[in-house]
Structure 1
Amino acid sequence: MTAEEFVSEVGRGVALFLDINPPDIYSKGHPAGTYNFPYHRRNWGRDVKRALNGQTPPIGLFGNDTATVDAAAQSLEDEGLSVVFKFGHGLIAWEKEKLPVERVKDLTPDELAKSLGDYVVIDVREAYELRSGKIPGALHIPMGQLQSRINELEKDKAYAIVCASGGRSSSVAAWMSQLGYDVSNVVGGMSLWAGKRHPMERG
């Protein structure tokens, strides 16, 4: 399958396209329609399968080197998932093919703390993850619920999306940007927010 054919499948909602790069690389630019699911060697395929919650779409993988992409593909196939497209040559090569690219605005925890009143913060973690605390005033909408609740959000506001470490929030920010929302990804997520000792709300 060519890149153009696979991009068409993604656009029609038939296939799932995963960018396996770290969140900071993903936010600087990624193929349009990709979700950020950074690759790690231990049980990565199992983590993806769990996130799919029983769905088995054809999957494409994007990364910066072919060896890592091949390893990620093998991890998925070991879990019975079907990888139909691989691209391991990075964003420059993708852009040279004149294929669509998206970029996400980044917001550091320090920048957000200084201008918290300028944003509606959306925490896309699962409920159990909030036990450690959340950003004061943050709206909790788990990533899996956001598509069905997107009409609750007004397009004349600025949004800051946060998760545990920046991976899920990057994907959500990219998707919301496509829909016309003014949205930024909180780099490093709640791990970095807490590490910087910014205010936390519990309960």
Structure 2
Amino acid sequence: MAILTAEEFVSQVERGMALFLDINPPQIYSKGHPAGTYNFPFHRRAWGEEVKRALNGQNPPIGLYADNPAVIQAAVESLEQAGLNVVFTWDKGLQAWQDAKLPVERVIDLTVDELRQNLDKYVVIDVREAYELRTGKIPGALHIPMGQIQNRINELDKDKTYAIVCASGGRSSSVAAWMSQQGYNVANVVGGMSLWLGGGHPVERP
């Protein structure tokens, strides 16, 4: 594993040359994370293979960020077993990242109950894959899968406010962070469709 300094790796991320994964749970990610990270929470079972499938044949240099050294080590091993290349890790947490004068982002969180009560104030974007819509989607939601959002961002109006939803809040928090970087007013729906459905809120079928 070739290790870069934080400054070297951040420069690669900013130039689109590397992938930076925050592997903390979504509720930690939303409170603050290194700029340019995607939230891909770590779990023990075939996690590296999940990342590999999400990359769809690409194999960029990867950096990992988490609060726990043991989690970082397990994630590195999982990625390397999947044939992926880890070039940077950070296990010192957000305060140390900020103290090093490295860039940070935060995502505004929105509960499903808050969204239900204020649905007329948001344009909902569902970033799940098409097969996941079988359980239903929030009435009026736009369907733009996570992998398409960068190519379709110009379809969206910066004068509107967006609520981003996925299955459980991981993908949506990454999309919300990226859209915020692009200058959009955006919030992440905490718990995603899992909590929306669990709360008995209305859905429409595609």
TM bin, normalised by shorter chain, reads over 0.9
Give how far 1:98 is off. Answer: 1.1
Q: Which residue is 2:27 aligned to?
A: 24
Q: Secondary structure at the match of 2:30?
A: helix
Q: Structure 2: how far apart are the matches of 1:38 and 1:141?
A: 21
Matched residue pairs, number?
A: 203
TM-score (normalised: structure 1): 0.99
For each residue in 1:1-30, what CA deviation from the matched residue of structure 2 results, as whole angstroms up to 9, or x when unmatched? 110110001001111000000001000000
| Alignment equivalent of 1:46, drawn from 27, 39, 49 | 49
TM-score (normalised: structure 2): 0.98
Q: Which residue is 1:199 aligned to?
A: 202
What is the RMSD computed on CA atoms of the aligned residues? 0.5
Q: Structure 2: how far apart are the matches of 1:131 and 1:108?
A: 22
Of 84-93 and 48-57, deviating more is 84-93
| Alignment equivalent of 1:183, drawn from 176, 179, 186 | 186
Q: Which residue is 1:69 aligned to?
A: 72
Q: Which residue is 1:89 aligned to?
A: 92
For 1:1-203, what aligned pairs fall within 5 Å after superposition?
A: 1-203=4-206
Q: Structure 2: how far apart are the matches of 1:85 and 1:142?
A: 28
Instruction: Show structure 1 runs of 5+ residues with no match.
Output: none
Q: Secondary structure at the match of 2:73?
A: helix
Residue identity matched to 1:55: Q
Residue identity matched to 1:119: Y
Q: Structure 1: how far apart are the matches of 2:155 and 2:137?
A: 20
Give how far 1:94 is off. Answer: 0.8
Residue identity matched to 2:176: A
Give how far 1:100 is off. Answer: 0.4
After the TM superposition, which segments of 4 or more aligned residues of structure 1 sit over 2 Å from their partners?
A: none
Q: Structure 1: how far apart are the matches of 2:92 and 2:169?
A: 23
